[in-house]
Structure 1
Amino acid sequence: MKNIVIVPARGGSNRLPNKNIMLLGGLPLLVHSIAYAKKNQEIVDEIYVSTDDPLIKKIALEQGVRVIDRPVNIAGDLEPTITALQHVLESIEHEVANVIVLQPTNPLRPENLLKEAFATFSNNQSSSLFTVSRNEHKLGNIVEDRFIPMNYKAGQRSQDLAPLYFENGLLYICEAQQIVKGEIMNESSFPYLVNHIFATVDIDAQDDFDYAEYLFQKFLKTN
């Protein structure tokens, strides 16, 4: 059975129109995830792009990867990613062992991340893995116009904060059968810690894209 990469890249985006084909470092955004998958051919057997957009489909085919046409009824703004992943698996005739999800909105990834994360996944008893990063901020809730600290006490130093983590979206690895059942992650999913500046990039608005462009120029342009 094969390990496949799925890049879910629908055409619509309200906050940043056509973001998945915006040029980052001269390449459409989704191409960065495709190129990253190609660099890990010792792990990745096939690469699929799921899309409802003709231009995204054209770009993906030019990259030599397989395209699964996503039906309109699972391509809306509120549609969860899991339905697109399930549709890809339903469209593939052969059996799939594991699915690696590379979101186009997280175009910058540490070079060895997939190799190291997949090794951890293979040696772990969990049926899925996702990347997380430590949050370094003092967080709290606002209740009746009052700020209630959540992960610290008033006056506590930042370096002494109780650790909290956020799902950074860099990658997900999941047994195919778990996706078929309707889950990418569950309570037993393994949180793979990534403390890297690329983990702070998740493109949803123009400011996010500008930040990604800055990091690309600073760290990746020469490569």
Structure 2
Amino acid sequence: MKTIAIIPARGGSKRLLNKNILKLGAIPLLVHSILYAKANSNIIDAIYVSTNDEATKKIAQEYGAKIIDRPEYLSGEFEPTLTALQHALEVIGDSTVENVILLQPTNPLRPENLLHEAFERYRISDSDSLFTVTRNHQKLGRITNNSFEPYNYAIGQRSQDLEPLYFENGLLYISKSRLIREGKIISENSIPYVVNHIFASIDIDTQDDFDYAEYLYQKLITYNS
């Protein structure tokens, strides 16, 4: 049975134009995810980029990814990732595909051994999916009627004594293809895989996000190579 990677990279981003093909370091943003998948070829049998954008298709092909031509009606700003994955599986049409690894181009930097370790955890489990999370260390609250109401702490409580809460960081998702066809990426029995790494703080949607990613890339990768 096969394991494939799907990288959804539609064109038409509003807040950061041409986001997926902007160069982070010396290569376009989405290429970081393609190269990460290629570096894990012992797990991933094929790499697909789902896009409606011609420039993205050209770049993805140059770096060895297969193209899924995503129709415009599945490429809107508010279209969920799920429909892109379902469409990709339909186009691929390979009944031997068992697992889908979702790599979002907006999370371009990942710990080197993350996929290997996470996939092994997933493989030996009975779960239909795995996704990465990171612990939140902030004091959160709500504002109601102009008044702040603490949510995960009591006023005066030390940050290190907060109840552990986690956020979905977007670095990595692994799902059974069957689950995606049924309309889910994360299942009820999904494994939350904890990643405590600075790369988990990167999720590019704005220019500030991109600038932060560029800073970390230069500091932690370029300078240390």
Measured against the shorter chain, the TM-score band is over 0.9
Please tell me the residue identity of whatever aligns with 2:212: Y
Instruction: Tell me the residue number matched to 2:100.
Output: 99
Instruction: Tell me the residue number matched to 1:68.
Output: 68
CA shift, 1:187, in A, is 2.6
Please tell me the residue identity of whatever aligns with 1:70: R
- Structure 2 unaligned segments of length 5 or more: list them: none
TM-score (ref. length: structure 1): 0.98
CA shift, 1:87, in A, is 0.6
Instruction: Tell me the residue number matched to 1:115.
Output: 116
Instruction: Tell me the residue number matched to 1:182.
Output: 183
TM-score (ref. length: structure 2): 0.98
Please tell me the residue identity of whatever aligns with 2:21: I
CA deviation profile, 1:124-144 (whole Å, cap 9, x unmatched) = 111000000000000011111
Please tell me the residue identity of whatever aligns with 1:100: I
- What CA distance in whole angstroms lies between the structure 2 residues aligned with 1:108 and 1:12? 22
CA deviation profile, 1:49-103 (whole Å, cap 9, x unmatched) = 0000000000011111100000010000010000000011001132211000000
Please tell me the residue identity of whatever aligns with 1:199: A
- What CA distance in whole angstroms lies between the structure 2 residues aligned with 1:190 and 1:17? 34
Q: Is residue 136 of structure 2 the alignment partner of residue 132 of structure 1?
A: no
Instruction: Tell me the residue number matched to 1:7.
Output: 7
Q: Is residue 146 of structure 2 the alignment partner of residue 145 of structure 1?
A: yes
Instruction: Tell me the residue number matched to 1:204.
Output: 205
Percent identity, aligned pairs only, is 63
- What CA distance in whole angstroms lies between the structure 1 residues aligned with 2:58 and 2:135? 38
- What CA distance in whole angstroms lies between the structure 2 residues aligned with 1:12 and 1:113? 30
Secondary structure class of the residue paired with 1:79: coil
CA deviation profile, 1:131-176 (whole Å, cap 9, x unmatched) = 0000000001111111111111111001101111000000100000
Give aligned pairs, total: 223
- What CA distance in whole angstroms lies between the structure 2 residues aligned with 1:76 and 1:101? 19
Contact 2:107 2:203 in 1 (8 A): yes
CA shift, 1:186, in A, is 2.9
- Structure 1 unaligned segments of length 5 or more: list them: none
- What CA distance in whole angstroms lies between the structure 2 residues aligned with 1:112 and 1:24? 21
Contact 2:100 2:174 in 1 (8 A): yes
- What CA distance in whole angstroms lies between the structure 1 residues aligned with 2:46 and 2:112? 19
Secondary structure class of the residue paired with 1:131: strand
- What CA distance in whole angstroms lies between the structure 2 residues aligned with 1:15 and 1:77? 11
CA shift, 1:118, in A, is 0.2
- What CA distance in whole angstroms lies between the structure 1 residues aligned with 2:83 and 2:14? 20
- What CA distance in whole angstroms lies between the structure 2 residues aligned with 1:93 and 1:9? 20
- What CA distance in whole angstroms lies between the structure 1 residues aligned with 2:110 and 2:159? 27
- What CA distance in whole angstroms lies between the structure 2 residues aligned with 1:131 and 1:200? 12
Q: Is residue 31 of structure 2 the alignment partner of residue 34 of structure 1?
A: no
Instruction: Tell me the residue number matched to 1:16.
Output: 16
- What CA distance in whole angstroms lies between the structure 2 residues aligned with 1:3 and 1:183? 17
Please tell me the residue identity of whatever aligns with 2:71: P
Contact 2:179 2:187 in 1 (8 A): no
Structure 1 segments, 4+ long, off by >3 Å, are none
Please tell me the residue identity of whatever aligns with 2:49: V
Instruction: Tell me the residue number matched to 1:219.
Output: 220
